[in-house]
Amino acid sequence: MKIPINRQLKVILLKWLKQGYMNTDDIPELNDGRDNWFLNLMNQADIETRYTAEDLENVPSELLVQIAQYIQDAEYQRTQTA
């Protein structure tokens, strides 16, 4: 499924990145009806993103440091807004 990203969706995506989590209520039209787009996306992502031990061993240490910093920053932002 392809969804065009307009200005409103860009703002929502940036908000999610800043706060460190997705609030699916921000896009109610994707939660409506029998076919919940977010649930389908999460199920598909789970299937496609299974990593092997070899994949994880080959992650550059610089990237791991950046990810750890991002997680720490997101946690700090979450505690400041709570």
Q: Tell me the residue range of the domain where 71 lies.
A: 7-81
Can you give the pLDDT at residue 21?
86
Q: What is the number of domains present in the chain?
A: 1
Instruction: Identify the band that residue 57 occupies on the pLDDT scale cut at 50, 70 and 90.
Output: confident
Q: Is the pLDDT of residue 35 over 70?
A: no
Residues 6+ apart with CB under 8 A from 22: 16, 38
Mean per-residue pLDDT over the chain, rounded: 79
1 within some domain: no
Q: How far apart are CA 12 and CA 72, in angstroms?
A: 21
